[in-house]
Amino acid sequence: MSEATPILHMLAPQKHMSPFDVNMAADAGYKVIVPYINVALEEVGPLVQDAIFSRPPDYGVRTGFFMGGKDAILALDMMDAAAKAMVPPFQCSVFADPAGSFTTAAAMVACVERQLKQKFNRDWKGTKVAVFGATGVVGFASSIISALEGADVTLVAHRGVDRVVKSAAVSKERFGVDLKAVAGETEEQKRDIIANAEVIFAAAAAGVRVVSTEHMAGAKNLLVVADVNAVPPPGVDGMELFMDGDKLPNSNVLGIGPLAIGDIKYKTESGLFKQMLSSKEPLALDFRHAFTLARQLTA
């Protein structure tokens, strides 16, 4: 591999590049990090070509692009635009992780998978998953990762089912997965959804309790509940920050808390940056690669 300085160009469609991701990239080993903000999709290709043609082809693997933002589909479109802009042998690596969602979702799915395997001798095939916060980036990515593994995934809408119906349609078109979309606005609707679920992904906004003890009272099939919200109150009643397969209070349901997930998320994001830094070939990394690594980390 060349001794060229590792440079990371970090693109955000909104007015900020995430300081979290800048720090992660620096700690993983990037020496020069340049954030670009308010980047439009059509600007991605020209920016990539501007970067790749400035360095000899063997320096390309030391040049990386990071796609941030807050929109999973836009980040994937930005990756596609970057791929189309490559002119072999002038190429570079690309990694998308909008709002940390791909690595967070990958970590959540991998942490739940470990409990399913170790405690129930099960995998994702046919496992009934209910996703709260399904219109968010973490909910969206976790629904696709688990559905690609064969889970039977239901997206729960908290204000109008139309947006989750749209998410399900996008997921079918882009990833070939069949997701169900249901309304979960009333207490009764939530109880019914949870009564049918074996796994819950609680991925609603920070500081929002989406699943209460009462919602889970009749949930005879429920095995594992994962919660990514670290801001009090917890997204799930009784969830503790570091729970990792412990029983929720007065229940046989296993809980996985936000900092158990966050630990794997952190290692996954850092690990993907390090893969880009050490690879001899240019890489293109999205939530699928994040899940592969998170799975290794939880094995």
Ligand X SMILES: NC(=O)c1ccc[n+]([C@@H]2O[C@H](COP(=O)([O-])OP(=O)(O)OC[C@H]3O[C@@H](n4cnc5c(N)ncnc54)[C@H](OP(=O)(O)O)[C@@H]3O)[C@@H](O)[C@H]2O)c1
Q: Cβ(202)–Cβ(194) under 8 Å?
A: no
CA 145 to chain centre: 8
Coil vs helix vs strand at 233: coil
* 22: number of Cβ within 10 Å: 18
Question: How far, in Å, CA of 154 to CA of 206, rounded?
Answer: 21
- Is 112 one of the binding residues for ligand X (CB under 6 A)? no
Q: How far is the CB of 176 from ligand X (least distance, A)?
A: 23
The least CB distance from residue 247 to ligand X, in Å, is: 20
Q: Interface with ligand X includes 104 (CB under 6 A)? A: yes
114 in contact with ligand X (CB under 6 A):
no
The distance from CA 72 to its chain's CA centroid, rounded to whole angstroms, is 9
Q: Is 16 exposed, middle or buried (0-12, 13-18, 19+ CB in 10 A)?
A: exposed
Mask 74-103, x = binds ligand X (CB under 6 A)?
-------------------------xxx--
Smallest gap, in angstroms, from Cβ of residue 262 to ligand X?
Answer: 3
Is 183 or 230 the residue whose CB approaches ligand X more closely? 230
Q: Does 158 bind ligand X (CB under 6 A)?
A: yes
Q: Are strands 180-183 and 152-157 parallel, antiparallel or unpaired?
A: parallel
Cα separation values, 204 from 40, 56, 117, 134, 214, Å:
27, 45, 26, 8, 18
Is 13 an interacting residue with respect to ligand X (CB under 6 A)?
no
- Which residues within the stretch 177-206 sit at the binding site for ligand X (CB under 6 A)? 203-206
Q: Of 4 and 20, which CB lies nearer to ligand X in the complex structure? A: 20
What tokens appear for 141 in the block? 């990515």
Q: Does 236 participate in binding ligand X (rule CB under 6 A)?
A: no
Asked if 132 contacts 200 with a C-beta cutoff of 8 angstroms, the reply is yes
Task: Name the residue nearer to ligand X (CB basis): 94 or 203.
Answer: 203
Closest distance between ligand X and the C-beta of residue 207, in Å?
7
Q: Give me the residue label for tokens 């903000």.
A: 37
Cβ atoms within 10 Å, residue 73:
14
For ligand X, which residue of 190, 265, 289, 295 counts as binding (CB under 6 A)?
265
Number of chain residues interacting with ligand X (CB under 6 A): 26
Per rule CB under 6 A, is residue 293 in the interface with ligand X?
Answer: no
Cβ proximity to ligand X, 52 vs 228, nearer residue: 228
The least distance separating ligand X from the CB of residue 225, rounded to whole angstroms, comes to 14
Residue that has been written with the tokens 């630990």 in this structure: 263
Binding site for ligand X (CB under 6 A): 99-101, 104, 133-139, 158-159, 203-206, 208, 210, 228-230, 258, 261-262, 265
